[in-house]
Structure 1
Amino acid sequence: MRRETQNILLVLLGGALLKISFSGLYLRYVKPGLLPLLIAGGVIMIGLALFGIVRDIRRGRPVEKTAAGSGDSAGSGDSAEHDEHDDHAEHGGHEHSHSSRSTWLLLLPVLAVFLISPPALGGDVVGSAADTNQTQRARNLLGELPTGDVIPLSMTEFITRTAWDESGTLDNRRVKLTGFLTRAEGSTYVARIAISCCAADARPLKVKLLGDVPSLPDEQWVEVTGQVVPKSASEQTSWVPSFTVESFDAVAEPAEPYES
């Protein structure tokens, strides 16, 4: 790969990182805590590219002067080199052309970041079972429930409590959940995607909705208020709890679509 191509790719890739960082799109790829690393990575890439460009410009000046000053003294040596260059162009030029074209294909993923804004992971990631490993890891993090008539809980805490809190602290308590709708085998679920680091380790979380569920499209984000069906999260239901709906509101997708 030519040095100029390397520098251009570094500038574009660094620019892509800064673009998704300052536009907030990075939340579709990684956790919020990784924002400083993304910004630092983009700045370093652009800095390295600019350093390489300036270095090449400085190195190129004396070479041009030397080549111009030694043109007359080269004589027959230049003629031989010219013949050799022509021979190389005749036999190897075609191969070099293909190499350059394949190098520029590396721009495609960079352009994709600039031109395409992928949606956050949604219903296509949610399988037929909840992630039991996630609830097991969070088992020891249970604390006291907040007070109030309606308790807003994350999907992670809600599923963890329904699966592992044998004391039934959520029984007969009104809870509000936020997630997107997904449907499977005639049932409707409110779901959320949880990540530990980035979208590559995404884990699906879902709750089965019972009662009067409005006919809204899949992937629609909602706030659902209701009560858990006691003992509904079990090995037989793949640890997916059931939730009796009392109120149902469509909302906009949150700026941070994933749970940690």
Structure 2
Amino acid sequence: MRRETQNILLVLLGGALLKISFSGLYLRYVQKSLLPLLIAAGVVMIGLALFAIIRDIRRGKAADEHDHEHAHSSRSTWLMLLPVMAVFLISPPALGGDVVNSAADTNQTQRSRNLLGELPSGDVIPLSMTEFVTRTAWDESGTLDGRRVRLTGFMLRSEGGTFVARLAISCCAADARPLKVKLTGDVPTIADEQWVEVTGQVVPKSANEQNSWVPSFTVESFTSVPEPVEPYES
């Protein structure tokens, strides 16, 4: 690969990292806590490219090459630019229902045995999908029984049931794991992948090993909402 090509790729890749970092698109790839590392990586790549360009100019590096070599290098350069340009031109959606359906059932929850904290007071408790699913799987005292809970996720229909689902990540989208809750009662017809806030109550003892720890949830109310800025839970 020619040095000019390397420098161009470094500038574009560094620029792509900075673009997704400052536009907020990075949240579709990695956790929020990794933002400083993305920015640092983009700055370093651009800095290395500029340093190399300035060094080559000072050395008076000749750019004349015979026509065949120039044509071959140009084709290779354009091919290597394709994935970088894709970052600039394409804004991928957050992972959704396809990942939930295709993931192994054993990934439904981390099933952590860490001690669970006290539930907040109030008529309706807003909980993350992660905490709700973990509590229904491991809290044998039934602290959620009879409590009204509000969950936020996207609609999903599969295996003859209707679910509200969400994806959680530990580091980046590559390690996304599905979380889903089966809806019962008066469930309105809402398109798959539509984000909703749903209020209701857990069906006691509904999450078990036989159904891969998927709790059932009796619906009281539904509200359609925009996709959150941070679509993944951690």
Q: TM-score, normalised by structure 1?
A: 0.84
* Identity of matched residues, %: 81
Number of the residue aligned with 1:39:
39
Unpaired runs of at least 5, structure 1:
65-84
Q: Deviations over 1:211-250 (max 9, x none)?
A: 1111111000000000000010001111100000001000
Give the Cα separation in 2 of the matches to 1:131 and 1:191. 15
Give the Cα separation in 2 of the matches to 1:250 and 1:133. 24
Q: 2:125 aligns with which of 151, 158, 161?
A: 151
Give the Cα separation in 1 of the matches to 2:92 and 2:154. 17
Contact 2:107 2:178 in 1 (8 A): no
Residue 130 to residue 241, structure 1, CA distance change in 2 (3 Å) = farther
Give the Cα separation in 2 of the matches to 1:170 and 1:120. 30
Number of the residue aligned with 1:254:
228
Higher fraction of helix = 1
Give the Cα separation in 1 of the matches to 2:98 and 2:128. 20
Moved more, 97-106 or 245-254: 97-106
Give the Cα separation in 2 of the matches to 1:181 and 1:250. 10
1:24 partnered with 2:24: yes
Deviation at 1:169, TM superposition (A): 0.5
Deviation at 1:172, TM superposition (A): 0.4
Number of the residue aligned with 1:14:
14
Give the Cα separation in 2 of the matches to 1:39 and 1:187. 42
Number of the residue aligned with 1:240:
214
User: Greater Rg, structure 1 or structure 2?
Assistant: 1
Moved more, 197-206 or 140-149: 140-149
Q: 1:219 aligns with which of 183, 189, 193?
A: 193
Moved segments of 4+, more than 6 Å: none
Deviation at 1:209, TM superposition (A): 0.4
Q: 2:90 aligns with which of 109, 113, 116?
A: 116
